[in-house]
Chains A and B, each alone.
Chain A
Amino acid sequence: MRKLFFNSIFIIAVTLLIVSCGSKAGSKSEKLAGEVLIDGSSTVYPMSEAVAEEFRTVQPDVKVTVGESGTGGGFKKFGRAETDINDASRPIRPEEAEACKANNVAFLELEVAYDGLAVMVNPKNTWANDIKVSELKKLWEPDAQGKITKWNQIRPEWPDKEIHLFGAGTASGTFDYFTEAIVGEAKSSRGDYTASEDDNVLVQGIASDELALGYFGLAYFENNKDKLKLLPVDDEKADNGDGPILPNLENVKNKTYSPLSRPLFIYVNSKSLERKEVQTFVSFYIENASTLAAEVGYIPLNTAEYEASKKRWSDFLSQHAN
C-alpha cells in the first residue's frame, strides 16, 4: 500500500520533471546508458540506495552502484576519482580536500537531509528529565554489559530500580551512528538490551514499560509523541549551547543538538560531469531528496534549501561541464 502510494507520488514527480524540463531539449527523457559509482557513509546509504532504486525505473540502462565503505573510506576513492559521488555523514576533512586537489578533482558538497537521534523514556518516568552524554556512554558501552542494570547506577538520585533498554538492531544504520556518537566507536555496544531493526517494537516497548530507556530516529518520535517522553541531551560542552538540549527539527538542523544530530551530504566529483548519466542522476537526487529522505526516516531540508542546492548544482555544472 505504502509502495503503491509512493509509486504514484513518484510517477507524478517524474511527469512534472519531464514537463518542466521540456525546454532543455528534452534531456531528461533521453535514454541514457553507463554507470554511476557511489560509495561512502553507511548512514547515507539507505538514502542513496532509495534514489538509485527510483532512478532505475526512469533510466533502466544506467547501472548505479552504491557502496558503504564509510565516509572516510569513500573519500579516499573519491580523491583518486574512482567514484562519481561520495556519501558523507560529516563534512570533508582538510586533508581529504587536499588529496582531491592534488588529483585535480573539484567537488561540490550538497546537503541531502538531516539525521537526529532521540533518547526516550516512558511518560510515567518522573525521575529522568535529562541525560548527559557521559551517562549515555556509561550506560551503552560494551563494559556496561551485565553490570549497569539499575537506574541509580547512572545517577545516584535516580531510583534503585532495573533499567530496561531498547535500541537499534546491529543491522541498522542508527546502531552505527549512535554507538559512534556516544561510545566513540561504531558498532561498539552492550548486547543485553532489546535490539530491533523494527522501530515499532521499540516504540511499543518504551511506551508500555515505566523502567524503559531507548533510542531511535527523531523522525519516528514525531509520529509517537503522545506515547513517549523525550529526554534533552547534555553534551557538557558550552560551545553549542549550555545544558541539556531537547531535540527538534530546528536544532537538529543547526547542530546545537549535539552529538546526536548531523547533516548528511553527497559530494559530486567534477571529473564525472562529462558523463551525462552522472549529471542526470545528481539532478534526480536533488529533485527527489525531500520525499525520499522522509521515506527512509531522515529529516528533509526545507524547500528554500533544496532550491539553493539546485542553484549551486547548476552553477557547478556550468562551471565544470564541457
Chain B
Amino acid sequence: MKQKEKIIEWLLKISGGITILITIGIVWVLLYETVVFFKVVSIKEFLTAKEWTPLFTNKQFGIMPLLSATMLTSLIAILVALPFGLTIAIYLSEYADRRFRKIVKPLLEVLASIPTVVYGFFALTVVTPFLQNIIPGMAGFNALSPGIVMGIMIMPLITSLSEDALYVIPNSMRFGSYALGASRFQTTFRVLLPAASSGIGVSVILAISRAIGETMIVAIAAGQQPRLTFNPLVPVETITTYIVQVSMGDVPQDSLEFRTIFAAGMTLFVFTFIINNIGLWLKRKYHQKYEL
C-alpha cells in the first residue's frame, strides 16, 4: 500500500515538474536568442528608434511602432470591455433574479469560447465595413475594429470574475447599507464596488494581458504596417502580427532577421509578466476576507 502511495506521489511530482521544465525551456530559448540579437542591435536602439523595418534595405530596429500598436488595440479593447462587462456583472449579481442569472451567465461565457479566428473575420468583414459607414475615410485595416471585437471577446472574462467578486460579498454588508437608508444603487456603487475592487482589478488585469497576447484578431484585421501612431483609423502592426508574419515567410533561420521575432516575443513576455504580477500584487494587497 505504502509502495503504491509513493508511486502515485512520484507521478504527481513528475507531471508538475514537466510543466515547470517546459516553462524554463521556453524562457531559456527566448532569452538565448534575444541575447544573441542584442549583441548586434543595441537595447537603446531597440527601445528608442521610431521605425521597425528589419527585413528591408534601410534596417531599423525600433520596437515602439509594434508596441504602440499592441497597446492601442489592447486599450480600445479594455475601453469596450470594462464598462460593458462591469455593468453586466453588477446587473447579474445585484439586480437580476437567480434564475435569470443561471441562464445568462453561461450564455455570456459562450462568447469566450468562439475561436479567435472567427472573431478576426468578424472584425474584418462585418465591423470594419459598418464603422466605415460611420467614419468615412477609415482604412480597411485599422486598430479600432479589431480593438472593439477584442473587447467583446474579453468581456466575459471581466463579467465573470467581477460578478464572482460581487457575489461573494456577504449579505450583511448589503443589509447594513440598506439599514443606513441607502438605495440599491447607492449600495452597489458606494459599498459593494469598493468592497469588490480587488477582484474587479484582477479581472481587468487578466483581460488586458489576454488582449496584449491576442494574435489572430489583430493579424487578420489590424494590418501589417509597422507605424508609430495612436490613430485608431490607420493600418498598424502589433508585436504578435509581426511574429506571425516572419514565422510564415521564408526568412532564413539563424539570421538577425529571424532573431527579431525572439526579441519581439521577449518584449511581449516581459510586458504580460509585469502586468500579471501587478494583478497578483493587487489581489494580495487589497483582498479582504469577509466573516459570514
Contacts and interface: CB of A to CB of B under 8 A. Distances in A.
Interface in A119-164: 142-143, 145-146, 162, 164
A29 B93 CA distance: 77
Interface stretch (B156-164, B222-230, B277-285): B222-230
A210 B141 CA distance: 11
Interface stretch (A8-16, A85-93, A194-202, A308-316): A194-202
Interface string B33-54: 0000000000000000011111
A58 interface: no
A188 interface: yes
Contacts of B137: 210-211
B55 A170 contact: yes
A164 B235 contact: yes
A191 B58 contact: yes
B227 to A, nearest CB: 6
B250 A171 contact: yes
A145 B54 CA distance: 13
B224 A212 contact: no
B163 to A, nearest CB: 38
Contacts of B53: 145, 190-192
A233 B59 CA distance: 29
Contact of A162 (B56, B141, B234): B234
Given A170-B249, A171-B251, A211-B139, A205 B223 contact: yes
Given A192-B226, A193-B225, A208 B51 contact: no
Contact of B57 (A169, A188, A197, A207): A188
Interface in A170-191: 170-171, 187-191
A142 B223 contact: no
B202 interface: no
27 contacts: A142-B56, A142-B57, A143-B58, A145-B51, A145-B53, A145-B58, A169-B245, A170-B55, A171-B250, A189-B57, A190-B53, A190-B58, A191-B57, A191-B59, A192-B51, A193-B225, A194-B225, A195-B55, A196-B224, A197-B249, A201-B224, A204-B140, A208-B129, A208-B132, A208-B139, A209-B235, A211-B139
A208 B55 CA distance: 26
- How would you classify the secondary structure of chain A's contact residues: helix, strand, loop or mixed? loop
A211 B231 CA distance: 15
A208 B128 contact: yes
A209 B139 contact: yes
B140 A192 contact: no
A164 B57 contact: no
Contacts of A193: 225
Nearest to B219: A201
A231 interface: no
B124 A204 contact: yes
B249 A169 contact: yes
A171 B55 CA distance: 10
Given A171-B249, A193-B225, A205-B223, A212 B139 contact: yes
B116 interface: no
B267 interface: no
Nearest to B53: A191
A165 B225 contact: yes
A143 B129 CA distance: 34
A238 to B, nearest CB: 32
Nearest to A185: B57
Contacts of A187: 57
A224 to B, nearest CB: 13
Nearest to B249: A171
A164 B140 CA distance: 11
Find the residue from B50, B58, B60, B251 having the highest chain A CB count within 10 A.
Answer: B58
Contacts of B225: 164-165, 192-195
Contacts of A195: 55, 224-225, 245
A212 B223 CA distance: 12
Interface string A208-243: 111110000000000000000000000000000000
Contacts of A191: 51-60
B139 to A, nearest CB: 4
Contacts of B55: 170, 191, 195
Find the residue from A164, A197, A209, A211 having the highest chain B CB count within 10 A.
Answer: A209
Interface in B184-211: none
Given A164-B225, A171-B250, A192-B51, A205 B56 contact: no
Contacts of A210: 137, 139
A75 to B, nearest CB: 25
Interface string B163-181: 0000000000000000000
Interface in B110-153: 124, 128-129, 132, 137, 139-141
A162 to B, nearest CB: 7
**Interchain residue pairs A-B with the least CB separation, the first 5:** A208-B140, A191-B53, A191-B56, A209-B139, A142-B57
Contacts of B60: 145, 191
Find the residue from B57, B128, B249 having the highest chain A CB count within 10 A.
Answer: B57
B251 A192 contact: no
Contacts of B52: 191
Contacts of B234: 162, 164
